[in-house]
């Protein structure tokens, strides 16, 4: 119990507290001049408010009244004595320095009445404050009690579910054993497959070593092939490292192959052009050879060169072309002075090739125009009458044609050798490409198998781990709930034990007070005998 300081409340505060708590309506005059009835009613109302005095305090044990001669005369005295003991116990519990006597009920004193009433009301105020403070705790205790009941029901339900699960576990035990046997068989199968995989890897390793030996032999045969093998090894390393690098390398190889094909097409086009030029030169050579033979026949006949007099030249006579004074294979006419007997040279009388050369002055001709000009020149050469200087020019042209033939034959041989090398390189490139594809396919297959196996193992381990975690979490939750329930039960038991001990002490105090009071009133009531068993039952 809490202790309070004294003196207690003044009269005005006592009146206000009684009115506020609706205990009793008291005036200042009542407290200044208290009467026994007023004091009895006031103390009874205050004790009823505190719940110390029960509603049935007026009831007297009839078995005890039977021992009295006139029990009707002692009803009020029993009521007064009961109220007196309640008030004195209350004030003793409050450690009041003043002792409450029976005189304070029968002949109350204003100051003592104010002192005792103020002390009890001060306790009421303190009690209300403390009750308001602990009301949430009481509510929490009520909720905890409800939760305890719910948890006990939940525990019983969980125990039933555990029993059901245990029964189902026992029923499913044969299936589990069967699955375990299947798992063992699968593990044995996996070990066999692993051994087979190791043998396959060994054979692949041997094949790779053999391929390396073949690559070394090829590299010793040709430096270019060594470079290709080196590129292939780099490509393999890139394949292992990164698919992006492999894609870029493949694109580079494709671009390189496209460049090779373009170069091959350009070479074929150049070869065709040179072949066409060679055909033109061959035809020109044949015609020139024919003309040369004709010139030799004419030279053997030694025909005189015709001369013209000035008188014979008229405006209507044809213009005679002067002899060719150059040894170049492309004959050009020589211009004669104006006072010569011959007329000036006209480009209209020259062969078409010479005309085009004279007009364009070194302009480069296309192949078709050159061929046409050559054919026209050959046809014009048939119509000319050649001189000995022209014969020498034809010989020089023949020499040039022979030189060109030699060069053309050399180019043909070189081109054939290049074609052979190109075919050989293309075959080697195709072989290396097939080997790379095969190795890549084997690598992909082995990688897929290993990835599938790893994925299955990961899934199995993950499922087992999740199952263990779920079971551990459930077990921890159940253990935590059980610990919390145990703690609550222990706390409730301790609080109940403390309350029981307190009630036992109160009962003992009441019994002792009753015996003391009965001993004190023995002198006043010598003929009354109290039955101890009935008193104990009453207490």
Rounded to the nearest angstrom, the gap between the alpha carbon of residue 42 and the centroid of all alpha carbons in its chain is: 79
In which band, very low, low, confident or very high, does the pLDDT at 359 lie, cut at 50, 70 and 90?
Answer: very low
pLDDT at 209 over 60: yes
- Output the CA–CA distances (angstroms, integers) from residue 348 to 90, 284, 351, in the order listed: 159, 22, 8
pLDDT at 315 over 50: no
- Coil, strand or helix at 320: coil
| CA–CA dist 517, 537 (Å, integer) | 17
At 72 the pLDDT is: 53
pLDDT at 155 over 80: yes
| CA–CA dist 244, 250 (Å, integer) | 10
Q: What is the mean pLDDT of the chain?
A: 71
In which band, very low, low, confident or very high, does the pLDDT at 531 lie, cut at 50, 70 and 90?
Answer: very low
27 in Cβ contact with 48 (< 8 Å) = no
Residue % of the chain over a pLDDT of 90: 0
**Which DSSP string do the residues of 324-390 spell out, in sequence order?**
B---SSS--BPPPPTTSSSPPP-GGGS-HHHHHHHHHTSPPPPHHHHHHHHHHHHHHHHH----HHH
pLDDT digits (tens, 9 = 90+) for 462-513: 888 887 888 778 878 777 877 788 787 777 778 777 877 887 787 777 777 7
Does pTM top 0.95 for this prediction? Answer: no
- Omega before 350 cis (within 30°)? no
235 in Cβ contact with 246 (< 8 Å) = yes
Higher pLDDT, 87 or 332: 87
Q: The tokens of 186 are what?
A: 């699968």
In residues, how long is the chain?
539
CB neighbours (10 Å) of residue 162?
A: 11
pLDDT at 60 over 60: no
Q: Of 192, 19, 181, 35, whose CA–CA distance to 106 is shortest? A: 35
pLDDT at 185 over 80: yes
The stretch 324-346 carries a mean pLDDT of 39
At 336 the pLDDT is: 39
CB proximity list for 341: less than 8 A, separation 6 or greater: 307, 308, 309, 310, 313
Mean pLDDT lowest for which of 207-216, 392-401, 454-463, 498-507?
392-401
Higher pLDDT, 135 or 530: 135
Higher pLDDT, 303 or 431: 431
At 228 the pLDDT is: 66
At 172 the pLDDT is: 84
pLDDT at 280 over 80: yes
Residue % of the chain over a pLDDT of 70: 68
Beta strands in 207-348 (DSSP E): none
412 in Cβ contact with 347 (< 8 Å) = no
| CA–CA dist 24, 393 (Å, integer) | 161
In which band, very low, low, confident or very high, does the pLDDT at 343 lie, cut at 50, 70 and 90?
Answer: very low
pLDDT digits (tens, 9 = 90+) for 214-257: 777 776 776 766 776 777 677 666 554 556 666 777 788 888 88
Looking up tokens 């093998």 gives 229
pLDDT at 370 over 60: no
pLDDT digits (tens, 9 = 90+) for 98-109: 778 788 777 878
B/e letters for 459-487, b = 16+ CB within 10 Å, e = fewer, are eeeeeeeeeeeeeeeeeeeeeeeeeebee
| CA–CA dist 502, 356 (Å, integer) | 143
SS3 of 134-202 = HHHHHHHHHHHHHHHHHHHHHHHHHHHHHHHHHHHHHHHHHHHHHHHHHHHHHHHHHHHHHHHHHHHHH
82 in Cβ contact with 57 (< 8 Å) = yes
CB neighbours (10 Å) of residue 305?
A: 8
| CA–CA dist 477, 484 (Å, integer) | 10
Mean pLDDT lowest for which of 45-54, 127-136, 249-258?
45-54
In which band, very low, low, confident or very high, does the pLDDT at 347 lie, cut at 50, 70 and 90?
Answer: very low
The stretch 53-57 carries a mean pLDDT of 50
At 478 the pLDDT is: 77
- Output the CA–CA distances (angstroms, integers) from residue 388 to 3, 305, 324, 335, 405, in the order listed: 161, 11, 9, 18, 26
CB proximity list for 42: less than 8 A, separation 6 or greater: 24, 26, 34, 117
377 in Cβ contact with 352 (< 8 Å) = yes
At 53 the pLDDT is: 57
């Amino acid at each position: 119990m809490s202790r309070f300081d004294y003196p207690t409340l003044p009269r005005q505060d006592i009146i206000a507290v009684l009115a506020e708590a609706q205990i009793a309506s008291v005036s200042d005059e009542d407290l200044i001049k208290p009467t026994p009835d007023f004091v009895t009613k006031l103390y009874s109302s205050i004790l009823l408010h505190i719940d110390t005095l029960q509603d049935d305090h007026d009831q007297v044990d009839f078995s005890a009244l039977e021992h009295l001669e006139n029990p009707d005369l002692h009803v009020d005295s029993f009521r007064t004595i009961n109220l007196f003991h309640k008030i004195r116990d209350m004030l003793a519990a409050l450690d009041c320095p003043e002792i409450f006597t029976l005189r304070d009920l029968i002949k109350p004193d204003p100051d003592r009445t104010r002192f005792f009433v103020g002390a009890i009301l001060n306790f009421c105020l303190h009690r209300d404050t403390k009750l308001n403070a602990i009301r949430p705790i009481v509510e929490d205790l009520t909720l905890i009690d409800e939760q305890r009941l719910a948890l006990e029901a939940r525990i019983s339900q969980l125990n039933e579910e555990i029993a059901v699960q245990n029964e189902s576990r026992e029923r499913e035990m044969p299936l589990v054993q069967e699955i375990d046997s299947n798992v063992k068989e699968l593990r044995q199968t996996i070990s066999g497959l692993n051994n087979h995989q190791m043998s396959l890897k060994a054979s692949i390793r041997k094949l790779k070593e053999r391929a390396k030996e073949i690559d070394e032999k090829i590299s010793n045969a040709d430096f270019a092939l060594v470079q290709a093998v080196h590129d292939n090894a780099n490509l393999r390393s890139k394949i292992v490292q990164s698919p992006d690098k492999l894609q870029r390398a493949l694109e580079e190889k494709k671009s390189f192959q496209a460049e090779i094909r373009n170069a091959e097409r350009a070479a074929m086009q150049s070869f065709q052009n040179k072949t066409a030029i060679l055909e033109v030169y061959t035809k020109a050579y044949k015609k020139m050879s024919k003309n040369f033979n004709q010139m030799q026949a004419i030279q053997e006949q030694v025909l005189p060169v015709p001369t013209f007099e000035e008188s014979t030249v008229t405006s209507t006579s044809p213009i005679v072309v002067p002899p060719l004074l150059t040894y170049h294979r492309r004959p050009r006419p020589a211009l004669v002075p104006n006072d010569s007997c011959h007329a000036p040279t006209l480009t209209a009388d020259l062969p078409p090739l010479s005309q085009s050369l004279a007009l364009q002055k070194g302009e480069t001709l296309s192949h078709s125009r050159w061929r046409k000009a050559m054919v026209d020149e050959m046809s014009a050469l048939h119509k000319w009458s050649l001189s000995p200087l022209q014969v020498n020019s034809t010989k020089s042209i023949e020499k040039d044609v022979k030189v060109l033939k030699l060069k053309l034959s050399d180019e043909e041989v070189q081109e054939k050798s290049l074609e052979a090398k190109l075919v050989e390189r293309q075959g080697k490139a195709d072989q290396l490409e097939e080997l790379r594809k095969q190795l890549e396919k084997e690598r992909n297959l082995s990688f897929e198998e290993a990835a599938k196996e790893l994925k299955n193992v990961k899934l199995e381990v993950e499922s087992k781990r999740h199952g263990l975690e779920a079971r551990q979490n459930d077990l921890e939750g159940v253990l935590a709930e059980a610990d919390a329930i145990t703690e609550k039960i222990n706390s409730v038991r301790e609080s109940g034990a403390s309350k029981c001990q307190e009630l036992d002490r109160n009962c003992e105090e009441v019994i002792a007070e009753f015996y003391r009071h009965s001993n004190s009133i023995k002198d006043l009531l010598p003929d009354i005998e109290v039955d101890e068993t009935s008193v104990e039952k009453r207490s």
